[in-house]
Structure formats: structure tokens, C-alpha cells
Structure 1
Amino acid sequence: MNKILLGLKSLLVLAVVYGCGPAKQDGAEANVSFTLQESDLPDYEKNIDHSGLINALGDRHGESIRTGEHIYNNVCFNCHGNPEQVGSIPTAFKFWEDTFKVGKDPYSIYQTLTRGYGSMPPQVNLTPVEKYDIINYLRETFLQKDNPEQYFDIDSAYLAGLPTGSTKGPEPKEFKPWAEMDYGNFLINTYELVGIGAPERERSTGPVQPLKDENFVNNNFAYKGIAVRLDQGEGGVAAGNAWMIFDHDLLRVAGAWTGEGFIDWEAILFNGKHNISPRTVGDLHFENPVVPAWANPATGSFEDPRFMARDKRRFGPLPREWAHYKGLYQFNDRVIVSYTVGKSRILETFGLETTADQPVFTRTLNISPSDKPLKMRVAPKGTSVALVGEGAVLKEQGGFVVMEVAPSQAAKIKLLMGKPGMTGLQTYAQTSSAPESLELLTKGAPARYPQRLTSEITQGTQDGPFQVDIMNPPFDSPWKNQFRLSGLDFYKDTNKGVICSTDGDVWLVEGFTENTGKLSWQRIASGMFQPLGIKVIDEEIFVICRDQLVKLHDFNGDNETDFYESFNNDHQVTDHFHEFAMGLQVDKEGNFYYAKSARHAREALVPQHGTLIKVSKDGLKTEIIATGFRAANGVCINPDGTFIVTDQEGHWNPMNRINWVKKGGFYGNMFGYNPPTDSTESGMEQPLVWVERDRDQSPSELLWVDSKKWGALNGKLLNLSYGYGKVFVVPFEKLGDQVQGGIFELPVPRFSTGVMRGRFNPGDGQLYLCGLSAWGSTQPQLGGLYRIRKVEKPMTIPVGIHATKYGMKLSFTDLLDAGSVQDISHYTVKTWDLLRSRKYGSKHYNEQTLTVTKAELDKDKKTIKLTIPDIKPTWGMEIQYEIKNKEGSTVEGLVQNTIHQLGEDSAW
């Protein structure tokens, strides 16, 4: 069978919208609004022998079906499921019962796969052969049997009418960018440690939501696992043959293993799998259970005091006074972790030695004097353990080999560890080198990534008030980085900035304001756990990761990070794939804020699931500000000290929502931790707007315009779109305690990635955006960097909205033509309701078209008053208009909004 080209989930998922009604049966309709234009396609797509590829399916039928099934089950099944099992996105297209929108014949489906349509992303990493294999599998497995009306009969006339060509495109090839990237010699993630012959994972599934909890009490998860490569060689942790994992919640070595292959890469941000965490691959030499490694110095007890979840597992770090992870030093390919136990400071590094062709795993510890005796569980009884050095002894206690350290004296020791039953370890310990001093490795090291990479800036020349510059990263990097960019910020020297990627990197980027047409990129940090926000404070870099808030330190002036300080690691991390730590903002007092997503289709296990979180300026305190979020993609701090947090359509969320957040507020997700008893709308805070999925499939972070160069938009609110790669302005009003409003799409081209984060550069006053496609975006490119420049042309953009008992007011940036405004035929106003429930999303209910009886231009010449006699509060409203500005140019637009209350307007 051909090797399968497996891209990321966002690139291979067969998407939410395939349709309802064919465009035509002999090929996709020319006027279908595909995501990609024909000019965006690779040249070979213009010369494909479609008839030949379809005919060949008969000759290689078995192979083709197996190939299509492999793609579907490994990637597409995540969202789409099958007739017996609902996918993780219940609204995703169901091939066994739904109706195609773009056409049901193979070529039409091919066009949808190739070019994308609606929420369906273009499958840029599938070859033509593979696309027809997946089409063949869908037709033979689902359509012919369960959905025969959508099964198209192929005949000679149909084949003769297909576009002609002479090639079948490039050959399929194995493609696993997540496994080929050089992450550096460590990578922090959640890992499950298993040995050879481990049983299949337990994964709860089914149509009833929330899904039940699996029984993972006895599974060895390192929820904050620092995986360190121990053998020598290039390529980083993914290319190694021997590893150890240090769990910085419990300050334990979770285990060590060897083999061909690092992990199985089963995870949403690796191979795209949902509801799963990666497992180790190979021979597990020893492991420790998920309990504290060090006894409480005050009591001598190993009893775990941490928060116990509903499923009887415990999560989060140990109490600071007991033990606390301080951070990670990098010295060449060495990793040195720093932590405290009681009042003792400990430096620890990991290594690999060999005796009689058997691997010996080493732990070197430098332990400062303690005021109390210290005890550490090294490994379960039976594991081969030896000790080199002075200041500690090994004993057996409670089923473990335990290291005891006497008080009031420093200890420098090396532990040697091997498989149970390993022979000769004690003899080998007599000749093993003495434990080294680690302090010398904490002062800075030569750069591990000395190369400076360069990328070109493509200057935008679009018509209209905005021009977009493409500033793509150097995708041909020597470390095969995916550049899934997830956050950016600028230094005081605004020509320089820092950008993080969800693959674990931070880049120092220069060239933003010098206008040389180029950017330089320096990799200054790597190996972190899914960074999704970054902030520069007094020239110091802070990064929010899934496991901790990290402060980066450069000790020797080469810009590269020598110490990854754990500024705050109060994060409660479970094995669930969905609990991203999103965005990073800082208030005027210096406190930090980020949003933590909840578990998907499951009830929360820990209080932090689905919350807005505050970290104190000194990093010592964590506080939950608001609850009830499902997938909260980022934080915006408002001028009045409140917040805005977006959320995504799903269970208990009938549609996407933009939330103006109050402290202590609950925002609707009844699967959250300890939700209120009232599950109705009155039991939650209402959003600023319910965002219709056709407008934006997945809103990300909002920000306030802070630039005089943006004219009338200065001081206004913008919303970024991860789902569709757009930017919206958010007009709103406040009636009593309720903020309500809508969204309007800025007239800029859709970006080739989902847009995650944005910052205005104080140097040039323009908006810089970074984005990625990793889960659920329709946009095909893995990562991108962009600049939106405001130019001196009229905008005519709605920036104000007011709902009154008489109708709607829309205020624009520019003067309008009174004659065009007064023609009521230039407006269409529609409304609808939604149903909020435990089910995923909602269809429209009670759809109506409201009559506009009068339209007039207010005295400011920028505000339209639409008299709408039947207006009332509504979940969703769309106002379409076609007017002219003062210069006489026609302006078309659509505002999508929500009305919670109708205000008074005595001057109407």
C-alpha cells in the first residue's frame, strides 16, 4: 500500500461543511466560493488526468480503500466519527446522512478537498491519488450503503466530461513534520509512560455527553513532563534513543526508556488526534508512580496533599513550602533542573552511561544544606540502584529504594539506575566518575542555535483603506520548525520583537520598522509546552505555556535563553488534550492574565478548567477571576479594568461568543467545575455578541486599536479570527450592566492561517498579527506573520451600534451620502434565536426578516437610523446594507450582532 501523507488535523480533517445540494453532477460549479482560487493551486493541479485516476480505482480497489480508510480513521474520524460514534465536532459533515453542497460526484468532492469550502479547509498536503482514495473510501463505505441518494453513478459520459490532463500529480510520501522537527534536547509535554506490550488505551466515547471519565488512577502520566534526551547526536529529543522524564509537579523522575522512536506522537498538536496524550515508545527500564518523590521535610511523610479530582487523581504542584520547581538551565545539550525541598536548593541533571552493553541512567544531584533530614523515593523496590558520592545513603522503605540526606550538610551524589535484575551495577559504581558540580553549568552557555535566518517581506498593494504585508517566517529552517506562531510582542526598540510558536519555540525577530524588506530570525528558546501567549515587560520575556508561566533569562548576552525560570507553575494540568493556556496580558499593576480552556465534551476535573486566571506580579499567587468557559482563546484587558474573553461553539455554547467579563462571572459552560444549579440563560452572564459560525468559525483574541495612524478606528475594539483568518471591528454599547454589540469584517483579504494574536507596534503605529493552523481552522498554512497598514483612503466602517425600541443606529467612520441612506431597499435585517443545551451548537430558530420602514441620516452625517417597528431582543441579527459615502462610492457591508436590551432614545 502506498505510504500515507498524514498532515495536521487542521489540514486533513474533512471539515464541517460538505453540504446540502449539489452544484452540478459533472463537476464543481464555477461560481462556488471556494477558499482557494485556481491561481493559488500548485501547477500540477492544472494538468491532472482525473478520468485516469478514477478509472485506476478499479484496478487498485483494495489498496485504495485501505489507504482511504487509513486517512479517515487516523485523522478525519476525530471530528466526523462514524454512524455508530459521534465525532468530537457533532456538527461536522456526516457522510452517511448529509447532503453535499458542492456536488456529489467524485470530481466535485475532489474540488472541495483541493480548494476548501466554507468550514472545510483545503487539503494542501494530500496528493491527487490520496484525495481520490479518500473519496473512494467515502463512496464505498458510507454513501453507497447508508446514503444512496448521495452516491453518484460513474459512467463513460461523466468521465469524458472531466477536465483533461496528463499527470497524476506527485507520488504519496510519508510526512510527519511533528516527528521530524528538532525541538532541542528537551521537550515539555504531558506523557504517559508505558512499557513494551502495554494494553490499548482506554478512551471513553459515545453519543451521550459528557463522556464518562476513564479509569486512569493507576496510569503513569507525567502531566508536566520534561522529556530529556540522554544519548548523543543531532536532531534533538525526537531523534534520540534514550530518554528520561522529570515531572516538575511532583519533582520525580517518572521513568526512563530506550528504543527506536521517542513517543507515538498521538496528540492534537502532533498528529492531530483528539482525546489522547502521547505515550513513550520502546523499552521502559524503570518508572515511578504518580506520587511525591520527596517527603515533606516538616513531617517526613510522602502523603500527597494536592487537589483530588472527581476521578480520584490528584493534580497541580506540591505546596511551595514542601517542594517547588524553580526552572530549567540549558548548557549545550545538558538540562539542569532547579528546585527546592524545604529550605534546601537542589540542582539535578540526567545522564547515560553503559556497563556490559547495558544502559545505566544517571541522576546527579547537588543538594544544599537543609535544616531537616530529607528523603527521596528513587524507584520501586527491585529496581537496580547504586549511589556514588558523599552525603546520602540508600535504604528500602515502604516498597521503594529511598535516598536519605542528613541535615546541615551539603550533598553531591550521583544515582545509577537500571532495570530490575541488572547485574554488576554495584561493581560498576566503584569505577563510575564522581558526581560533578552543577553550579558551573548555570552561568550561561554557547548558543545552541547560532544561525540567523532571513525571510522576505511581501509588500501589500491592495486597494482600499488597508494594505497587508506578508512577513512569512523562514520555513526552510535547519531545525524543520513548523512555525505555528501563537504570540508576539515588541521591545522598546520597536524594530525588534519576540514571537512564540505552539511547537515550543521563541524567536527574536528584527526588521519590523527599518523597512529593508527583510526580517531576521533568531531562535532563542525551545522545548516549552505549547506556548500560546508572550509578553515583554521592562525588556524581559514572559511566555504562557500549558504547564507554567515562564520567564526567559539570557546570562551571557547572546540573546539565547540560558534559564527557563518557572515564574509561576500553579497550573492544574491533566492529560486532556483541550485544556490550552491561552493568551498573556498584563494590567497596569503588573499582574498577569491568561485563559485556560475546559475539557472537550467532558466535565471539568479541576477548578481551573474553563477559567480566566490572574497571576500576581511576583508570581506567588494564582486567582480564578471568572468561570464557565469552554475554549477560551485569549484575553483582552479593557480600559475600565474588565476583560474580554472569547469562547467557541460547542456543548452549552450554541454559537461562538465574545464575553465582556466581570470578576466572579459564570459564562455558560455547565461542564465546567462546580457550575451553578441554574442551567438556563438567567444563570449565566450574557455575551457581548453570539458570533454566527458563517461569520467566524472560531474567534480568538481581541485588542484595542492604539494608533493615531488608524484614524477613526483609534480607540476602537478589534476581534481576530482563528477560524477564518479575518479581522473584525466590534461596535458595542453598554445598557446598565450589559454590554452588547456586534462584529464587522474589515476589508482585508483572508489570511492564509488562522489569526491568533495581534499587537500594535508603537514604532510605526501599525497592526502586526501572527497565526497558525493546528486545530479546527479552515486556513491551510501552518503559520504566518502579517502586518496591516492603514493608508489614507476612506474606510466607511461601522464603529458604533445602538439598539432602541424604535430600531437600530449604526455609526460609521466617514461621512455618508444622505440620498443613498434614505432608500429603505438598501437594507435587509434578519434575526434568529438559538437553543442553548448540552448538545453541541445550535441551529437557527424563529428566523425572521424584519421590515425597515424608514432610514435617515442623523445630523452628524455618519449615523444611520433604521426604524424597525418589530424590533425586539434577539440572539442573532444581521444588518446588510448598500449605501454611498460622501464621495459617492458604493459601500456594501454586513453587521452581525446580538440584542439583549432595547434602549430609550427620546430624540428618535
Structure 2
Amino acid sequence: MRSKISMNLKLTFSRLSTVLAIVCSNSLLETSNAAAHAPAGYIVETLEIPEGVTLGVGGLAFAPDDALFVTSREGQVWRLKDDQWSLFADGLHEVLGIYIDPVTSEVWVMQRPELTKLIDEDGDGSADVFRTVNADWGLTDNYHEYAFGIVRDSGGNFYGTLNTSLSWKGWAGSSKWDVGRVHDGKMGRATKYRGWSFQITPDGRFVPWSSGMRSPAGIGMNRHEEIFYTDNQGDWNGSSTLQHVVKGRFHGHPSSLMDHPDFQGKDLNAIPVETYDELRTPPAVFFIHGDLANSPGEPVFNETGGQFGPFEDQVFVGDQSRSNLMRIYLEKVQGEYQGAIFNFIDPMQTGIVRNQFDKNGVLYVGQTGRGWRSVGSEIFGLQTVRWDRRTTPVEMHSIRLTTTGFEIRFTQPMDETLLRDVNQFSIQHWKYLYRPEYGSPKADKTKVTPANVKVSHDGMRVRFDVPLLTGRVYEFKALGMKSKSGGDLTNPIGWYTLNYLRLNDTR
């Protein structure tokens, strides 16, 4: 038990009602306040942070009374209710996740060293008791050993993810963490369970869940209790990814296998790269490094019942470097998830790490730029994105695999003459190399021309055939495409990660 937090500030804030102007950023790393390039009908607003408070957002969650709880990298938990901020907890260690029970209002947070339950015993609005739920993973003084989370299933189990250690002396500045590096990769495993996802049961037991993570900066769960996480580009990660978490899976970074029972006592450097490649499950979606995202954060599912526009059940993810918000369409092919990714709003005021929908379908976007380079001049912040519930943007809604090519669905009827013109689409594909080196080029780029173009009677879909190769990312550019009413696509590029071929197509 820790002593009661004496500080309980209540600071009035006001939402800035000015809608950010819609312009494009000409520089990836602007130092001025960049305005958001957003689809029509989507409004970005900025929340004012209490004066004098540094709020590098690490987690967002809503309580049953609609209060927003915001955790910070600075070790605090703030509560926002009825336009007032109050400090709920302080003295924590880099809080990068929070979960609030939707019935009981109980609060759990993810610190670097442990999962903690915060208890307000006397009901005065601040936590009196910090109770350790579990601390069974290892932690050193290595800066890269983040603990991310948390989500909870209907059985009361929590899930989170653990970063690898920065082990290469050339970057770490010391050889004391140089443990578990495989084939001269930059990241390693200086202590137990680095690079793993985990489950914590209702009785507080730690269960290693899946291995092979590098820098799993965000975790999310959909209505079916399927878990996904994002991983950042680096060694063994040719580009950043969205991956489906399943117990026992190996996601690709081999340092974590030091804690796998099947690899106990084995020399991981004696195992060839090709063997690791055969063991890993490919990512559901690649983020396109440099073009779209460098450091993606938390994935959140749009399950708002249409309150956030025409993108129900799609995944929204922000990027900490580019400060942009993206969306992902997922589909199952041969029993595994893969799909398409699109830009959505670009850029926002600083790096995005956390997202959360409220009950009205407003997306809250938590931001931090401290310690890393982010687009925008702010170091931290909190913004919202809401749909006006009237305007349908002109966008590619989704890209779906067929047995012979792809089908692109749009949010509005498109100009059918342009849809039938194969010259309106620029399509290429490439692969990312699975290797211990840091990142990967777009290898073996190949341009393709669509054939057998078919347009739906309502102008909302176009199908075409292209040669299909697995293990590739397909890029679709439709820069000259217009809607039937003459509107341009806000985001005219989509990328599809193709891991598995569709064996039959009944649609």
C-alpha cells in the first residue's frame, strides 16, 4: 500500500471549437503547427491540457460515468469529467495502458514493472491503494523495455505486450544488455519474457502467450475478443505491422525464444534465418514505412454502430512519428486475417500512440512526442475526431481479394468511365525482406496492369484481374479518380498485404 496522493487539482478546460483547416503537409517533420488533411465530414478538435501539466499520453479509457481517464508517460493518471480535470494517481512508472471495468468502475494500469490495480477506498476521487496484480516479467534499466497494454476478455483475463531490450552496444552505449541478440540484430532479451505477449488470469497468474515481438507499441481487442497488436519496423521487422495474437504463435523476432520451452538451452544464432521464417506467422497488414507510418501505436476497432461514418468494424491506428491517423480493412482468407490499409487524417498536432471511442462515436486521440521526432510542434496533446453524421467522404472504403485479383469498394458512386479506364489505376507490388538487418527496402518491385475490369451497376465497386503472388504488398494508386458528383478521393492510395490466396469467391 502506498500513501494517499495529496494533490487533487481540479482545472477547468475548454474545448477549442475551431475546426482545423484542411491542407496537406509538405514536410514529414514540420516544426510548425500543421493542420489536418481530413476526409469531408470529419472534424478535428483539440482539448486543452491543464496549465503546467506535461501529459505524454500513454493510455485512454472511459469509466461507466463517461469520465475519461488519461495515463501518462510521466507516471500520472488524470480524470476528465464535466469539463474538469482532476489527478487520480501519481508516482507510477511510465503508464502505457489502462483498463476500467464497464460495470464496477475498477481501474487497472500497466506500468513498466507491473500490472497495478488503483483503488479509491474513501471515494474522494483519488487513488489510496496501488495493489500489484502481477510483476512476473523481467525489467532492467534498459530504456527500451516498455510494457504496453491492456485489454481484458469476458473471462476477466488481461493481455499486454513487452518490448525487447536495446542490446547492441553501438546504440545502447553499454554491453551490459547484450544478451539474446540473434544474427547481429539490434534488439535482444536482457531479462525474461522480453518480446512476448502475455495473459494475466483473474487470480493474478502470468501466462506467456505469444513470442517474437520487437516493439509491440499497441494492443487492441475486437467485439469477438480477437487480439491484435502493432509492431514497429526494425531488426527482423522489414516494415511496421499489424499482427493477430494467438496463443503459441511466433511473430518473427527470435530473441524472445530464449524463454520458449522448445528452445531452452539452444544456440539461437546457430538456427538459420530460413528456419525462423518458416516458424513465424506473417503479419496481417504491413504499414508502409516512410510513405505511411514509421511507429504505429494502439489499434482500436470502430464498433460504434455507424456513429463514425461508413467505416464500421475497421481498425484505426495512429503513428507516433508521422502524427497521422490510419484505417485498416481486415478480411479472413484461408482462416487468417489480412487486408488493406489507408491514410485517414494527416497530420495531427503530434505523435499518436493511443485511441479510444466514446459512447457517442467520437474518437479520442492521445499523443506524445517526447524523446522521438514527430510531425508537429507539440510535445504532447489530446485531440478528438468526430463525424458530422451527414457528409459521406469520397474514399476507398476497402480493398478485397478475389480469386483472380481485387475488388475496390468506394464510399460514394464513382465516375464509371474513369473506373473502366485501366490507366486510372497505377498498381505495383513488392516484398519486405525478413532479415536481422534493420528494416527492409521495397524489394522486387513489379508493376502490373489490371485486366477484365468490371464495374458494379451502382458505381460503388470495381473488380479487375492482376497476377497474384503471396508474401507481397500491393499498392493501388487512383490519383485521377473522381466520384460521380465530381469529388476527388481524399486519400487516393491503398495498400493490401497478400499472404494467402482466396480459393473460392461466392460474392
Normalising by structure 1, report the TM-score. Answer: 0.48
The residue identity in structure 1 corresponding to 2:153 is: D
- Please tell me whether the aligned partners of residues 755 and 772 of structure 1 are also in contact (alpha carbons under 8 angstroms): yes
| Residues 1:330 and 2:3 aligned together | yes
Match of 1:744 in 2: 342
- Please tell me whether the aligned partners of residues 71 and 95 of structure 2 are also in contact (alpha carbons under 8 angstroms): yes
Report the Cα offset of residue 845 of structure 1.
1.7
Match of 1:528 in 2: 92
- Please tell me whether the aligned partners of residues 829 and 851 of structure 1 are also in contact (alpha carbons under 8 angstroms): yes
Report the Cα offset of residue 719 of structure 1.
2.1
- Please tell me whether the aligned partners of residues 701 and 720 of structure 1 are also in contact (alpha carbons under 8 angstroms): yes
Report the Cα offset of residue 698 of structure 1.
0.8
| Residues 1:664 and 2:248 aligned together | yes
Q: d(CA) in 2 for partners of 1:682 and 1:900?
A: 13
Match of 1:587 in 2: 153
Match of 1:604 in 2: 189
The residue identity in structure 2 corresponding to 1:692 is: I
Q: d(CA) in 1 for partners of 2:208 and 2:435?
A: 25
Match of 1:449 in 2: 7
Q: d(CA) in 2 for partners of 1:776 and 1:894?
A: 27
Report the Cα offset of residue 895 of structure 1.
0.5
Match of 1:635 in 2: 219
Report the Cα offset of residue 752 of structure 1.
1.7
Match of 2:80 among 501, 509, 521: 509
Report the Cα offset of residue 811 of structure 1.
1.9
Note the alpha carbon deviations across 1:688-721, whole angstroms, 9 max, x for none: 1222112101111111112131232122222222
Q: d(CA) in 2 for partners of 1:635 and 1:678?
A: 30
Report the Cα offset of residue 639 of structure 1.
3.4
Superposed counterparts of 1:91-110, under 5 Å: none
Report the Cα offset of residue 532 of structure 1.
0.2
Match of 2:353 among 756, 765, 789: 756
- Please tell me whether the aligned partners of residues 326 and 342 of structure 2 are also in contact (alpha carbons under 8 angstroms): yes
Match of 1:566 in 2: 132
Superposed counterparts of 1:881-896, under 5 Å: 881=478, 882-891=480-489, 893-896=492-495
Q: d(CA) in 1 for partners of 2:153 and 2:248?
A: 18
Q: d(CA) in 2 for partners of 1:644 and 1:499?
A: 22
- Please tell me whether the aligned partners of residues 300 and 355 of structure 2 are also in contact (alpha carbons under 8 angstroms): yes
**Pair 1:701–1:906, CA change in 2 (3 A):** closer
Q: d(CA) in 1 for partners of 2:226 and 2:398?
A: 20
The residue identity in structure 1 corresponding to 2:88 is: I
Match of 1:817 in 2: 415
Report the Cα offset of residue 906 of structure 1.
5.8
Q: d(CA) in 2 for partners of 1:702 and 1:691?
A: 12
Q: d(CA) in 1 for partners of 2:399 and 2:358?
A: 28
Report the Cα offset of residue 805 of structure 1.
4.7
Q: d(CA) in 1 for partners of 2:453 and 2:504?
A: 16
| Residues 1:876 and 2:448 aligned together | no
Report the Cα offset of residue 576 of structure 1.
1.8
- Please tell me whether the aligned partners of residues 287 and 293 of structure 2 are also in contact (alpha carbons under 8 angstroms): yes
| Residues 1:485 and 2:57 aligned together | yes
Gaps of 5+ in 2: 23-39, 167-185, 264-270
Identity of aligned residues (%): 22
Match of 2:496 in 1: 897
- Please tell me whether the aligned partners of residues 325 and 346 of structure 2 are also in contact (alpha carbons under 8 angstroms): no
Match of 2:142 among 561, 573, 576: 576
Write 1 or 2 for the structure with the bigger share of helix. 1
**Pair 1:721–1:632, CA change in 2 (3 A):** same
- Please tell me whether the aligned partners of residues 717 and 729 of structure 1 are also in contact (alpha carbons under 8 angstroms): yes
Match of 2:45 among 469, 478, 486: 469
Q: d(CA) in 1 for partners of 2:208 and 2:18?
A: 42
Q: d(CA) in 2 for partners of 1:648 and 1:860?
A: 40
| Residues 1:616 and 2:197 aligned together | no
- Please tell me whether the aligned partners of residues 453 and 463 of structure 2 are also in contact (alpha carbons under 8 angstroms): yes
The residue identity in structure 1 corresponding to 2:162 is: K
| Residues 1:687 and 2:253 aligned together | no
- Please tell me whether the aligned partners of residues 454 and 463 of structure 2 are also in contact (alpha carbons under 8 angstroms): yes
Q: d(CA) in 1 for partners of 2:280 and 2:18?
A: 44
- Please tell me whether the aligned partners of residues 209 and 248 of structure 2 are also in contact (alpha carbons under 8 angstroms): yes
Please state whether the residue corresponding to 1:673 is helix, strand or coil. Answer: helix
Rg comparison, structure with higher value: 1
Please state whether the residue corresponding to 1:672 is helix, strand or coil. Answer: helix
The residue identity in structure 1 corresponding to 2:193 is: Q
Match of 1:770 among 362, 366, 382: 366
Match of 1:392 in 2: none
Note the alpha carbon deviations across 1:865-897, whole angstroms, 9 max, x for none: 1322x3322432211113222433222511122
Gaps of 5+ in 1: 1-327, 332-446, 512-518
Query: Which piece of structure 1 moves more, 498-507 or 767-776?
Result: 767-776
Q: d(CA) in 2 for partners of 1:649 and 1:815?
A: 37
Q: d(CA) in 2 for partners of 1:828 and 1:703?
A: 30
Q: d(CA) in 2 for partners of 1:850 and 1:776?
A: 38
Note the alpha carbon deviations across 1:780-817, whole angstroms, 9 max, x for none: 42211111111121123334322335222122333333
The residue identity in structure 2 corresponding to 1:572 is: G
Q: d(CA) in 1 for partners of 2:88 and 2:16?
A: 25
Report the Cα offset of residue 637 of structure 1.
1.5
- Please tell me whether the aligned partners of residues 824 and 854 of structure 1 are also in contact (alpha carbons under 8 angstroms): no
Q: d(CA) in 2 for partners of 1:528 and 1:459?
A: 33
Match of 1:551 in 2: 117
- Please tell me whether the aligned partners of residues 803 and 901 of structure 1 are also in contact (alpha carbons under 8 angstroms): no
Aligned residues: 450
Normalising by structure 2, report the TM-score. Answer: 0.84
**Pair 1:507–1:907, CA change in 2 (3 A):** closer
Report the Cα offset of residue 859 of structure 1.
4.4
- Please tell me whether the aligned partners of residues 604 and 673 of structure 1 are also in contact (alpha carbons under 8 angstroms): no
Q: d(CA) in 2 for partners of 1:773 and 1:492?
A: 30
Please state whether the residue corresponding to 2:278 is helix, strand or coil. Answer: helix
Note the alpha carbon deviations across 1:296-344, whole angstroms, 9 max, x for none: xxxxxxxxxxxxxxxxxxxxxxxxxxxxxxxx3214xxxxxxxxxxxxx
Report the Cα offset of residue 582 of structure 1.
0.8
The residue identity in structure 1 corresponding to 2:6 is: R
Q: d(CA) in 2 for partners of 1:769 and 1:800?
A: 23
Please state whether the residue corresponding to 2:310 is helix, strand or coil. Answer: helix
| Residues 1:715 and 2:281 aligned together | no
Q: d(CA) in 2 for partners of 1:673 and 1:683?
A: 11
Match of 1:134 in 2: none
Superposed counterparts of 1:3-42, under 5 Å: none
- Please tell me whether the aligned partners of residues 402 and 505 of structure 2 are also in contact (alpha carbons under 8 angstroms): no
Match of 1:148 in 2: none
- Please tell me whether the aligned partners of residues 533 and 583 of structure 1 are also in contact (alpha carbons under 8 angstroms): yes
Match of 1:652 among 236, 248, 253: 236
Please state whether the residue corresponding to 1:577 is helix, strand or coil. Answer: coil
Note the alpha carbon deviations across 1:131-189, whole angstroms, 9 max, x for none: xxxxxxxxxxxxxxxxxxxxxxxxxxxxxxxxxxxxxxxxxxxxxxxxxxxxxxxxxxx
- Please tell me whether the aligned partners of residues 149 and 161 of structure 2 are also in contact (alpha carbons under 8 angstroms): yes
Report the Cα offset of residue 549 of structure 1.
1.1
Match of 1:173 in 2: none
Match of 1:99 in 2: none
**Pair 1:623–1:884, CA change in 2 (3 A):** same
Report the Cα offset of residue 726 of structure 1.
1.6
Q: d(CA) in 1 for partners of 2:393 and 2:153?
A: 31
- Please tell me whether the aligned partners of residues 607 and 673 of structure 1 are also in contact (alpha carbons under 8 angstroms): no
Report the Cα offset of residue 761 of structure 1.
0.7
Report the Cα offset of residue 638 of structure 1.
3.0
